[in-house]
Amino acid sequence: MAPIKKRSRLKATTFAIKPTKGSPGRYPMSDLSHARNALARVSQFGTPKEKRAVARAVKRKYPALAKRSASVKRWLK
State residue 20's pLDDT score: 85
State residue 45's pLDDT score: 93
- Let me know how many helices (H) and strands (E) the chain has, helices first: 4, 2
Given a contact cutoff of 8 angstroms between Cβ atoms, the answer to whether 5 and 25 are in contact is: no
Whether the predicted pLDDT of 77 surpasses 80:
no
- Sign of the C-alpha dihedral, residues 72, 35, 31, 26? positive
What pLDDT digit, counting tens, does each position of 11-63 carry? 888 899 888 888 888 998 989 999 999 999 999 999 999 999 999 999 999 99
Which helix (H) or strand (E) covers residue 27, if one does? strand 26-28
State residue 61's pLDDT score: 92
- Sign of the C-alpha dihedral, residues 36, 52, 18, 65? positive
Of 27, 24, 61, nearest to 41 (Cα)? 27
Whether the predicted pLDDT of 2 surpasses 80:
no
